[in-house]
Chain A
Amino acid sequence: MSLIQIKDLKIHYPIRSGFFNRVTDHVRAVDGINFEIEEGETYGLIGESGSGKSTTGKAIVGLEDATSGQIIYKGHDITKASERRKLKYNRDVQMIFQDSMSSLNPKKRIFDIIAEPIRNFESLSKEEEKKRVQELLDIVGMPSDALYKYPHEFSGGQRQRIGVARAVATKPKLIIADEPVSALDLSVQAQVLNFMKKIQKEYNISYLFISHDLGVVRHMCENLAIMHRGRLVEVGTREDIYHNPQHIYTKRLLAAIPKIDPKNREEHKAHRQAVEKEFLENQDKWYKNGRVYPLQQIGKSHFVALPQDKLEGGR
């Protein structure tokens, strides 16, 4: 059985207008999505800004209330706060944020930052606590003199590693990583990704890896979902998505990744523009009144958001 299941999750925000400031419409930030994450796997959730990927992540950790739908963790629906408390869910599910500067308290020392989740959920003696924090810093490759420093004394990559150490402090089962490396330089990004993988192996953690960077996701995730306009347009394994993309939106994203291949630049450009043209001109074929179609299974692990009758023609 999978670790966590997202079932028909919807998060709608009301739009108020008019004289009485009544709710006149909704922004459908997340509009009915389903996926599940297995134990110990890294699941990729990809989308552009405004696609609803971060909102989904926040709903899973409980920072955002679901309008409808279920999030099933170990057989229990945890969309209610009371249920989350009962299950010690908040201890098992942690988060790594994109901006390490604003997600670490500038007035606290690293020791207190990492010890905070431990203090919340466990009662350890002073020595045990210190030992744990030291271990955690070791795992992410930080020197032990970091303990009594403040966040501003570290570089972006080091801060992000502190964020990783804090997230694993309670030995969670699932970590929501929302764009964990997109603010980092290339060489530092590699370091953080390596540590994330190492920790995953050591503690058997699952990740929900939220990103817009298809290159990084390809490196990290076995299974992934592409999100657009609050819905999933394509779900599959790395192989399915990168080698056999079916939906025009997936193709468009893939075509837009800059390639390290300056010799064939013109071909990339021609391909990219052809895909873009198809995307713009044949909206009706790929979307129903601008809304993404429900997912259809087209392979063992491959789902695409297209109506049945358009599947064959679309190939």
Chain B
Amino acid sequence: MEKPSDLLLDIQHLHTGFRLKGKFYDAVDDVSLTLRKNEILAIVGESGSGKSTLASSIIGLYDQKNTRVRGDILFNELNLVGLNESLFNRIRGKEIGMIFQDPLAALNPLMRIGAQIEETLYYHTKLNEKERKTRVLELLDQVGIPDPVRISRQYPHELSGGMRQRVIIAIAIADKPSILLADEPTTALDVTIQAQILDLLKDIQDETSAGIILITHDLGVVSETADRVAVMYAGQIVEVAPVDELFTNPLHPYTRSLLESMPQTDVDDEELHVIEGTVPSLDKMMTDGCRFAPRIPWIDATSHEEEPILHEVSPGHEVRCTCYRDFYFKN
């Protein structure tokens, strides 16, 4: 095992519930995960799987009144769950950088690019104005923006989508955080730009040895960038594995079904695999038994565990429930 000092984030039995008509429903249900230095951990899932809720729980960006968070998120022995706002403000941005899906919505349209990057330096560092300005140009250069002096005087609407996302990354890494949280960072971008942004994230990691949590629905992106992958379904982690292992030996029926439903090469006459049924909505989520069972009804009920837990099948590779042993595709 790694040295314990490599551990950046230790999430233990995290439950995040939302209030719906007076009752709390867990959108994230008993998630335990770790993030180490120099690691890209991908969290994959479809909409409604709870992957973004997990991210907002980590950085404490949720509606305090209608959200209930239980469990532990340990960051350097500090528990982020229930942390008060003023302490959290010191961590957000400084220790944990965020990269959002829509760069236009994440940038202030009325502020020049340079000023937006400088803002985070102003709050989190002791640099004086001149040092801040120099650092802004350094950062813009680091994220591969040509002519930093000119760009720093422009407004977000003057930049292309890829450039804006680079600016967001510059803001996220401005205070050299040890953790970067990227929520669908390339979903709004063209494939060629996506490739550039993913390369940039990797380069930044090489330089800063930050740990990156990459939240995505795109298995291709995972395969190209991640070191370790957690697959989420209906609020739970159903499979965790190193990236090679996950793609060569996927075990959980959900993981296998997802990979199967990707359009394969050149065979156009064949029907694509479709997963039966739909992801249940939050208030109709079953609370016991295997949550994927209703989507694979042809698998015998006795194959599922009553209380599905994660089973370690090889070092670092865990699968929830026992149904994977008996799973086969219907056709």
Contact residues of A with B, CB < 8 Å? 48-49, 155-157, 185-191, 193-194, 197, 212-216, 218-222, 238, 242, 252-253, 255-263, 265, 268-269, 272-273, 276
Contacts and interface: CB of A to CB of B under 8 A. Distances in A.
Contacts of B275: 187, 190
Contacts of A262: 223-224, 226, 243-244, 247
B224 A185 contact: no
B278 to A, nearest CB: 6
B223 A261 contact: yes
Contacts of B243: 262
B262 A49 contact: no
Contacts of A238: 266, 268
Contact of B190 (A49, A186, A194): A49
15 contacts: A49-B190, A190-B273, A213-B191, A218-B263, A220-B263, A222-B268, A238-B268, A256-B192, A256-B194, A258-B191, A258-B220, A259-B224, A260-B259, A261-B223, A269-B199
Nearest to A239: B266
Given A49-B190, A194-B274, A263-B244, A220 B224 contact: no
A187 B274 contact: yes
User: Main SS of chain A's interface residues?
Assistant: helix
B268 A216 contact: no
B91 to A, nearest CB: 32
B46 interface: yes
Interface in B180-239: 190-192, 194-196, 198-199, 217-221, 223-224, 226
B106 interface: no
Contacts of B144: none
Interface of B: 46-47, 161, 190-192, 194-196, 198-199, 217-221, 223-224, 226, 243-244, 247, 257-259, 261-268, 271-275, 278
A186 B192 contact: no
Given A256-B195, A258-B223, A272-B195, A215 B263 contact: yes
B271 A194 contact: yes
A113 to B, nearest CB: 21
A221 B268 CA distance: 8
Given A155-B278, A194-B271, A269-B199, A218 B265 contact: yes
Given A191-B274, A222-B268, A253-B192, A260 B223 contact: yes
Contacts of B219: 186, 260
B191 A190 contact: no
Contacts of A268: 224
A260 B220 contact: yes
A148 to B, nearest CB: 20
Contacts of A220: 263, 268
Contacts of A212: 190-191
A214 B262 CA distance: 12
A71 B161 CA distance: 33
A262 B265 CA distance: 17
A40 to B, nearest CB: 13
